[in-house]
Structure 1
Amino acid sequence: MKSVLLVKMLAALALVLLVSSATEGRILRKCELKKQLEAAQIRVIRAMGDKMTVDDLIAKLVCKANGSGFNTSFVKTIAPKPKENEIHSFGHHKPRPVWRLYGVFQLSDQVACDSGMVPSLNVCNMSCSALIDDDITDDIACLKTMINSIKPKPKNASDITLPLVTLNTILVRECRFVVPSHYFAECLKATTPMLTDF
């Protein structure tokens, strides 16, 4: 059983390496990403809390992108922890799949997009390969779709809504206390014209 799991993990790794080598990506700058998110007019939703501002949200999203090194072609594979694949009561064994995070915002192939390797909600109705090229307009559109899909409680079972727990995958813990004015200080300096004395 362990050898089968190892073979599957090696196959997934080989596929990720093949995809990343065949994809043309680029490294973004923090201030560039900030500008693109501002232009996209991402809105704060009620589920994020009353005190969250658009500036706070953008700072948290850019901070999250730092986890990918601002690399538009970054793919991270996450294998289940060994105890997550243990045999459950009554002898049933249902291994958790390996899942992947794609692109600069590290969007999941189980929720955001379809990788063809695991079942996916595919909320953004797109292939995950679209998230690892050098054009991040579709990444931002997908991010907006995911944010707008988060609801405290589904009103109708047929509505495509994501649980609040998905908010934690968009806004990572490490970025919870990011202060926009400090985080984007170098962006403000870059746009402020220099005054000279004559």
Structure 2
Amino acid sequence: MKSVLSVKMLAALALVLLVSSATEGRILRKCELKKQLEEAQIQVIRAMGDKMTVDDLIARLVCKANASGFNTSFVKAIAAKPKENEIHSFGHQKRRPVWQLYGVFQLSDQQACDSGMMPSLNVCKMSCSALIDDDVTDDIACLKAVIGSIKPKPKNASDITLPLVTLNTILVKECRFVVPSRYFAECLTATTPIAD
């Protein structure tokens, strides 16, 4: 059983490496990504909290993109953590699937796109390979779709369209206290015209 799982994991890794080498990505600049997100009119949703502004959201999204090195072709594999109830009677943990994060925003193949390697909600109705090319417009459109599909948890219900965990994945803790005016200070000086 272990060897079959190892072969599948190696095949998935080989596919990721093959796709990464076959696609041409590029490294974005922080100010360029900020401008593209502003032009895309990303909206704050109620599940994000009443105090979050669009500027806060854009700063946090760009901060998150920094984890990928602003690389549009970045792919990262993550082994899901086992839950407590997935421990067999022999004390061995059941293996959880490896899922992939794609592109500059590190969108998941479980929710955002279809990698062909595991079942996906495919909220963006696209192949994950579209998220690792040099065109960031489809990444932004997918990010908007994922954000738009997040619904706050109803008080008397246990099921939601996409869990708020997705929101926590998009808005990573490390970027929680980013102050837009400070984070984008160089963008303001780069675009401010010099008075004569």
Find out whether 1:184 has 2:184 as its counterpart. yes
Counterpart of 2:181 in 1: which secondary structure?
helix
Q: Distance in 2 between matches of 1:149 and 1:46?
A: 12
Q: Distance in 2 between matches of 1:3 and 1:165?
A: 32
Instruction: Please say which of residues 171-180 and 84-93 is displaced more in the overlay.
Output: 84-93
Find out whether 1:134 has 2:134 as its counterpart. yes
| Aligned 8 A contact 1:73 1:104 in 2 | yes
Counterpart of 1:67 in 2: which secondary structure?
helix
Structure 1 pair 80/160, CA: closer, same or farther in 2 (3 Å)? closer
Structure 1 pair 93/135, CA: closer, same or farther in 2 (3 Å)? same
Find out whether 1:59 has 2:47 as its counterpart. no
Instruction: Please say which of residues 85-94 and 52-61 is displaced more in the overlay.
Output: 85-94
2:194 paired residue number? 194
One-letter amino acid matched to 1:46: R
One-letter amino acid matched to 2:45: I
Structure 1 pair 77/85, CA: closer, same or farther in 2 (3 Å)? farther
Which sections of structure 1, spanning at least 5 residues, go unmatched? none
Which sections of structure 2, spanning at least 5 residues, go unmatched? none
1:25-104 equivalences in 2 (<5 Å): 25-81=25-81, 87-88=87-88, 95-104=95-104
Instruction: Please say which of residues 134-143 and 89-98 is displaced more in the overlay.
Output: 89-98
| Aligned 8 A contact 1:85 1:94 in 2 | no
One-letter amino acid matched to 2:164: L
| Aligned 8 A contact 1:84 1:95 in 2 | no
1:108 paired residue number? 108
TM-score by length of 2: 0.89
Find out whether 1:151 has 2:151 as its counterpart. yes
Instruction: Please say which of residues 89-98 and 139-148 is displaced more in the overlay.
Output: 89-98
State the Cα RMSD in Å.
2.6
Deviation of residue 84 (structure 1)? 7.6
Counterpart of 1:101 in 2: which secondary structure?
strand
